[in-house]
Amino acid sequence: MQTNSMDRRIDLRTQLYIEAVLNSLPKIGQREAALVLRELGVPVAIAMRVLTRPYERRQSLGRRTVAAGPATAAAR
C-alpha cells in the first residue's frame, strides 16, 4: 500500500521544533525560520512545506490530527 507524504508522521521532536519556529515566524521572518529549522535537523522537504504552503500543515486537535486545507487555513 502506498501512502502520500501527508500520511506519514514526523517524530514528536520535529513536530515541536516546527511549532516553536512557526510561533516565532512573525518576529523572525521566513528566511530565519528556514535557517533555524535546518540547524535543528528538520528535513528540507518538511521545512519547505510548512513555510511555503501553510494550508497543507496538519492541525493538531487534541489526540486527533487532521490535514489543514484551504478552508481551514482561511478560517484562522
The model's pLDDT over 14-60, given as tens digits with 9 standing for 90+, comes to 989 999 999 999 999 999 999 999 999 999 999 999 999 887 777 65
pLDDT score at 32: 97
Q: What is the mean pLDDT of residues 68-73?
A: 47
For residue 57, the surrounding DSSP H or E stretch is: none
Q: How many domains in the chain? A: 1
3 state DSSP class of 35: helix
d(C-alpha 41, C-alpha 60), whole Å: 22
Does residue 8 have a pLDDT over 90?
Answer: no
**Residue in the block written with cell 522537504:** 45
pLDDT of 49 reads 92
Inter-CA distances, 59 with 7, 16, 31, Å: 13, 13, 23
- The whole domain housing 21 covers 5-75
Q: 18, 50 in Cβ contact below 8 A?
A: yes
